[in-house]
Amino acid sequence: MKILVPVKRVIDYNLKPRVKADGSGVDLTNIKMSMNPFDEIAVEEAIRLREKGAASEIVAVSIGPAKAQETLRTALAMGADRAILVETDDQVEPLAVARILKAIADEEAPGMVLMGKQAIDDDCNQTGQMLAALMGRPQGTFASLVAIEGDHVSVTREVDGGLETVKLALPAVVTTDLRLNEPRYASLPNIMKAKKKPLDVKSPADYGVDTTPRLTTLKVEEPPVRQAGEVVGSVDELVTKLKAMGAVA
């Protein structure tokens, strides 16, 4: 079984994003960019499935600028077999990303698409579900456990009420949650090897997908800043203040 793993290049999760003064967006100049953390978990899970013999080939895909090659090289260094960059400098929305991924899935015929539940820049949490709809295939979102059972996959999902398990016919789209695994670090020899692994460069037009945005961003602002309050000296003072504020009875 082939596994397709879409990976997005995003601001490193350790950094605090700054809004541009002109309100046009978030300033990403000279900002460290990394693979979306949920996508790292997806790459790791694909590798583990291959290690268990449940998967044969792992293809990483990214839609983004030329620099997204670095993200793909990271996936290759972790253990993906080959990569496809769909290069564009435009901001591509989840719906268009899903359309491109659908076209790639048509060509590659993966048994599973394993991807992040959410990109930590747009916080959309929708691409995987959209892809599953476009493919007419089932979806296992927010996965904390993935087990292949013949021509089905059992997915345990992190839901508001606890943990839900669903059984999906393959091919299926699975999106990762934080508890699925802990991604490995790429070793130096693997980073060197990854440089020689195949990486195809394509364009959205190659897949016949129009990436014109459906949403226009009118402005991007800082959220209202919350002022730090006061530091109290003791539990007694804390209780007094809480009562004075009416926060506790």
Ligand X SMILES: Nc1ncnc2c1ncn2[C@@H]1O[C@H](COP(=O)(O)O)[C@@H](O)[C@H]1O
Binding site for ligand FAD (CB under 6 A): 13, 37, 120
DSSP string, 3-53: EEEE--EEE-TTSPP-B-TTSSSB--TT--EEE-HHHHHHHHHHHHHHHTT
Decide: 99 and 43 in contact? Cβ < 8 Å.
no
Nearest CB to ligand FAD, comparing residues 120 and 147: 120
Residue type, position 198, single letter = P
Among ligand FAD, another protein, ligand X, none, partner that 63 touches (CB below 5 to 8 angstroms by kind)? ligand X
Q: Residue 80 in contact with residue 50, Cβ under 8 Å?
A: no
Burial code of 222-242, b = ≥16 C-beta within 10 A, e = fewer?
A: eeeeeeeeeeeeeeeeeeeee
d(CA 153, CA 150): 8
133 binds, among another protein, ligand X, ligand FAD, none (CB under 5 to 8 A by kind): another protein
Where in 102-141 is the site for ligand X (CB under 6 A)? 115-116, 118-119, 122, 124-128
Site string for another protein, 157-196 (x = CB under 8 A): xxxxxxxxxxxxx-------xxx-----------------
Q: What are the C-alpha distances in Å from 200 to residues 48, 61, 72? A: 24, 9, 11
Residues 69-128 that bind another protein (CB under 8 A): 93-95, 98, 117-118, 120-128
* 196 contacts 79 by C-beta, under 8 angstroms: no
Candidates 54-62, 67-75, 131-139, 202-210 — which segment interacts with another protein by CB under 8 A? 131-139
Chosen from ligand FAD, another protein, ligand X, none, partner binding at 75 (C-beta under 5 to 8 Å by type): none
Question: Would you call the peptide bond into 171 cis, given omega within 30 degrees of 0 as the criterion?
Answer: yes
Among another protein, ligand FAD, ligand X, none, residue 190 binds (CB under 5-8 Å by kind): none
- With CB under 5 to 8 Å by kind, the binding choice for 169 among ligand FAD, ligand X, another protein, none is another protein
By beta-carbon proximity to ligand X, the closer residue of 1 and 97 is 97
* Number of residues counted as binding ligand X (CB under 6 A): 23
The least distance separating another protein from the CB of residue 195, rounded to whole angstroms, comes to 31
Angle, vertex CA 139, rays to CA 137 and CA 143, nearest 5: 155
Q: Which of ligand FAD, another protein, ligand X, none binds 7 (CB below 5-8 Å, type-dependent)? A: ligand X
